[in-house]
Amino acid sequence: MRAEKVEEKEVEPRYVSKTKEREVEAKTKGRCSYNGCNKPIEEKHHEPAYALSHNHKGLMGMCKVHHEFRHNGVGKKLSSID
């Protein structure tokens, strides 16, 4: 019987640190990650969902409108910065 290699996931607490928030904001210069949008970041979005990844690697800043679009399955195209 051979041993299976188990992939370990990096698990981070649900809380997003101020350092990580600053990193996210710096990626897009404080602007929404949605392609073509120049509105300021109002909310953070996990892609993939935090419940699936348990980390903040896919965290992005978005304006309120485009964050709602993402949760409702609209507007899948994001900027190349992600």
Q: What are phi and psi of 60, to 5 degrees?
A: -140, 155
Domain span including residue 38: 18-71
What is the pLDDT, as a whole number, of residue 28? 92
What is the pLDDT, as a whole number, of residue 55? 77
The pTM assigned to this predicted structure is 0.68
Does 81 have pLDDT greater than 80?
A: no
Q: Is residue 5 part of a domain?
A: no
Q: Is residue 47 part of a domain?
A: yes
In three-state secondary structure terms, 78 is strand
For the ranges 8-12, 30-34, 61-65, the lowest mean pLDDT is seen at: 8-12
Q: Is residue 76 part of a domain?
A: no
What is the pLDDT, as a whole number, of residue 42? 95
Q: Is residue 51 part of a domain?
A: yes
Mean pLDDT of the residues in the chain: 79
Write out the two tokens for 53: 């990844």
Residues 6+ apart with CB under 8 A from 78: 33, 34, 35, 47, 60
Total domain count for the chain?
1
Interatomic CA distance for residues 36 and 18, integer angstroms:
26
Q: Is residue 63 part of a domain?
A: yes
Q: Is residue 66 part of a domain?
A: yes
Q: Is residue 82 part of a domain?
A: no
At 41-71, the pLDDT tens digits run: 999 887 877 767 777 788 899 999 999 988 8
Yes or no: say if 62 and 32 are a contact pair by the CB < 8 Å rule: yes
Q: Is residue 56 part of a domain?
A: yes
